[in-house]
Structure 1
Amino acid sequence: MESFETLTVENATAALERGLAAIKDGQTVFDLGCIQSADSSAVAVLLAWQRAARKNGTTLAFTNMPVSLKGLTSLYGVDDFLVDSPADLHHH
């Protein structure tokens, strides 16, 4: 899946669709390191991706989640649902 520098309301639908297609194709790790700007739409997209993956019997791992996006997930109380991959846990 192509990376996004921003994940905001302006491109959330496109990001959602690309991510869902990637999940359908078997992708289970999403590298979020390219995201420089995110808003609450990003949290909604990540949650939708995670729900789709769980519906398919798997769980997604999000790597290199920017601090600003981690802050949003914490603010909305969904940070436990959007867990970083084990490779990133040493950053906590």
Structure 2
Amino acid sequence: MYKLVGELSQNNARKQVSAGNAAIAQGQLDFDFSDLLQIDSTAVTSMIEWQRQASQLKKTLHFHSVPASLVSLIQLYGLTGQFQLSPAERH
């Protein structure tokens, strides 16, 4: 499982996308968002890019522990059906 840590925002999106694409190329198809502390709408575009990369390889990504704020953005943009999402558990 590929674990995203810290931040996924406009500050580091290019770096995160590159690292995610490398993980996909190595066969990682499960992305864990549980250790992300900060996100913005750039996270959605990053997910789209990772999905595109996986699709080119005829693979399906699964996104785990997706923060509620990110799920809300995905819903707002009408992209819910584009991703395999497992929302973060509420405590």
Q: Is the 8 A contact 1:12 1:45 kept in 2?
A: yes
List, as ranges, runs of 4+ consecutive aligned residues in structure 1 with deviation greater than 4 Å.
none
Secondary structure of 2:80's aligned partner: coil
The superposition leaves residues 48-91 of structure 1 with CA deviations (integer Å, 9 ceiling, x where unpaired) of 0011101101110000001011111111111211221xxx47x6
Q: CA deviation at 1:4?
A: 2.2
Q: How many residues align?
A: 87
The match for 2:23 is: 22
Q: CA deviation at 1:3?
A: 2.5
Give, in whole Å, the separation in 1 of the partners of 2:66 and 2:37.
Answer: 10
Q: Under a length normalisation based on structure 1, what TM-score does the superposition of the two structures give?
A: 0.86
The superposition leaves residues 9-45 of structure 1 with CA deviations (integer Å, 9 ceiling, x where unpaired) of 0000000000000000011000011112211111000
Give, in whole Å, the separation in 2 of the partners of 1:30 and 1:2.
Answer: 6
Q: Is the 8 A contact 2:7 2:39 kept in 1?
A: yes
Mark the runs of 5 or more structure 1 residues left unpaired by the alignment. none
The share of aligned pairs that are identical, in percent, is: 33
Pairwise CA RMSD of aligned residues?
Answer: 1.6
Mark the runs of 5 or more structure 2 residues left unpaired by the alignment. none
